[in-house]
Structure 1
Amino acid sequence: MSSTDRKTRADIEDDLRKIAAEVFPNHDVELTSNTPLFNGGLSLNSTQMIELTLAFESYYDIELEPELLTVEHFATLGSLATMLEDQLNDDSYV
């Protein structure tokens, strides 16, 4: 990925909002950077976390290493976007 193709955290958050709306159409929650993904906010359970993960992996055409699937990374929309930004913009990853 060239430097002109790099995704910003804001871009990724926007992408994640769209993905979440498609995967969970009945969740009528305004997603901000600080929206919790589990307790409150989207109120995801572990199965829904997997659904969301598969959706954004497909969207970005990536496969995350299992060690990245942590409670810390999935705490909020912002923390998830930060982790994805690191992965998507890592020149060795592409």
Structure 2
Amino acid sequence: MDDRKTQKVIEEDLRGVIAQIFPGQRVELDSDTPLFNGGLSLNSTQMIELTLAFETFYDIELEPELLTTENFATLGSLAGLLEELLEDEVSPV
């Protein structure tokens, strides 16, 4: 059985995580929604909250060098990063 999650499924997961940790957000989140400037308008503290929340959700740990503005630019870019990380987790060694 293939346990890999697609980017689309990960985006859905992230929408749920974001709704839980930022219940006041009224932004429609699609793949191109910016997470910082405009869109979700996260600040650095909220980025840390979001990171901790999805690390817990997926039981993974992001390496500090992955915490870049490129990886967190949009919901889609973050989901793409997580798709790669989760694929590495389930791939046989």
Is TM (by shorter chain) over 0.5?
Answer: yes
1:34 aligns with 2:32: yes
Q: Percent identity?
A: 69
CA distance in 2, matches of 1:92, 1:6: 12
- 1:79-94 to 2 correspondence within 5 Å? 79-90=77-88, 91=91
Scaled by the length of structure 2, what TM-score is found? Answer: 0.94
User: Which residue, 66, 69, 90 being the options, matches 1:68?
Assistant: 66
**Number of corresponding residues:** 91
1:25 aligns with 2:7: no
Q: Aligned residue for 1:78?
A: 76
Q: How large is the Cα RMSD of the aligned pairs?
A: 1.3
SS at match of 1:51: helix
- Structure 1 residue ranges, 4+ long, deviating more than 3 angstroms after superposition: none
Task: Give 1:92 shift.
Answer: 6.6
Scaled by the length of structure 1, what TM-score is found? Answer: 0.93
CA distance in 2, matches of 1:72, 1:49: 13
